[in-house]
Chain A
Amino acid sequence: MNALASVVFVALVLLVATYLVAVIDATIMIRVSRGRGYTGVWMDPIARAARLMMQRGSRTERPDLQVWFLAPALLAGLGAVALASIPVAAAVHVADNGAGIVLFGAAMLQVMVAVFLHGWAANSVFPMLGAFRMAAAGMSMSIPFSLALITTALPAESLSVGAIIVSQEGLWNVVRQPLGLPVYLITALAFSFWGPMQLPDAADLAGGTTAEISGVALLVWRVARIGVLVALSAMGAAAFLGGYLGPVLPGWLWMMVKTAGLATVMVWSGHHFARMRIESVVFLGWTLLLPIALVDVFLSGALTL
């Protein structure tokens, strides 16, 4: 694919997938959403987006203005880069080279940087606290996240995502490496700061990094966040659930179904579990998830050899 076509393709896929995940979110929230002006599950994300676009943007005193506008754009760009490294069908990919899964990991760890910048920009207390929380959660969850993904490269003997998908032709990684997918899902929740890991934009910080933001900037931030969730679900589907492999339907349709499944699980957990305290998240990352991820690596290495 040439460069411009790739960029347009990834942007379109990201926008459509973001809309669909927002629809899933509205479906799960359906008992809460009904009220005056409720327009049904399919129109609800568009109605909320339109309302945000009509809001006035806000300013604080002496903000870091370039960073204020950079952070949502950076988050959206990182989601797009991460999505670009995942093949949607056999040999149809944008940026999957010999180290595709490392590209994905690098893009997702930079989400921590983007959220820190977003909290820093507003020159205000609650966004700064949200930024610090994301730094702590991100540092704690980085290593289990990377280990769970690298473990899927062991049976494939390659770091390319396409090779990892192809190596699952006999057996999906979720069966071969049962510890991998739960660890990956928990850390994916942390990196897309959703649900129980909704630390930087938490309600107990009056919206956290989005406390001083409104209007179009807030809309771009939220859309970018869902884009990151989509990229994480797609990689979970590719690395653990076999990607585009499947019996009857075409490859891209399987990819969509599996991504939608993982996205539904993560969105549902957002509504089902309460938000964890930051101390619990840090404890979870270092003392529970890291040993489990290491055991996963050892077991998988032993089985592969």
Chain B
Amino acid sequence: MSGGHVAIVGAGPAGLMAAVAAHRRGAWVTLIDEAPRPGGQIYRQPSAGIEPGEFVPPGEAARKRAVLDAFAEVADRIDYRPGTAAYAVFPGPELHIADDEGSAALRPGALVLATGVSERPLPFPGWTLPGVMYAGGLQALLKEQGVIPPGRILIVGTGPLPVAVAAQLVRAGAEVAGVALARSLRAMLRHPLALWQGRDILREGMDYFETLKRAGVPVMAGWRPVRAEGEGRVARLVLALPTRRGEPAAGTERTFDVDWVGMNFGFTANSELARMAGAATRYDAVRGGWLPVRDGFGRTAAPGVFVAGDGAGLRGALNAAAEGRIAGAAAAAAALGAAFDESAADIRDAVAERKRLRAFQRAVAGTLALPQGLWWPVHRDMTLCRCESVPAGAILAAGAQGRHEDLDAIKRQTRAGMGPCGGRTCLRAVPEYGIDTDPAPMRVRPPARPVTLGALANRRDR
């Protein structure tokens, strides 16, 4: 079936609003999402039976409600498939999906990929110790499970997320030992007009700082993790102020006794499916690494394949919702064989919203850029590929030998990136080392997500 059929991957703000927009324009919508409930990462909902309480600002709660309410109005009139992974896209577009029991191929008239981002860690000696987690991971644990890791938590990273997570943890009753930011958020103040355009979100940020100040949680700008220590689990995190080269400045080391660490050094776009579909990519170190190239309506170079939201470049949840409205409508027109009316009132609204938010996001981007020398703590004997336990030295040597016409060569030579995470962590680090500043992305082969052989054998489309 393809006449008027739009398939959407991802049920965060971009995918949910794309589903609403495509349904409103008369398309038959299939929405695929790995999670059991709609919302994605930022608008994550609690698991059934758990009420974690409220620790996000009223503004964010209202934005989340607006997206989930809009989706709830159409949810029973579309084909919504939670708990389902999209593991391959072939020309057509042909989308392959699988859940725990079976798999199937869909052949929609148009496909919207709203796959979001994953967190980017900063590898440092000891970063594989249990208890060292991602800051957004701690937030997911809080929002979905109503659980705070017991004991002292230290948050490290860049950009606005570490501060938000630390404040939410404090409001929920956690013991946060401190927040160490590699770069001061003051860089944003250089863009007063942009900040005015994002003033509602900015106010929430100021409230987060206020929460931390009242709780006596130090926010340290310019500090970086040097190493984590502990036997079988993290017990201490050592921070230092860096020299210009990135080395810890003599005499600046500070040791924190901790039970847990939450780190976030930006994000990596989940662009695997778009790349597999044949979308062209460009490398953007700040907005998520390998980003699919698209036009103003989300169209990629792959016929019938659209992208929307942070997976096409990190700009936040509000922008993702606006992009979803645009791409969903454009995809519906493509699937229905209808002309796309760019001047329709709802499209003009969404385009104006996107424009307003982009200025603000440009100011935020300055705080996400990794400071020079940030990768200094990566030692040669330190595990960089966590899945396959490949030391950093092996990966760097493979790159430095000049046999890295693409990242696939490094992958073949070292096994880095062959594990179940798909190289999201270790191979993203390669361009950051300055080995290759504009590397071609890894070739993506199915399955883009691990799928059981049982599910592959049980085909539901035959």
* A and B are partners in one complex rather than unrelated chains: no
**Interface residues, chain A, with chain B CB atoms under 8 Å away:** none
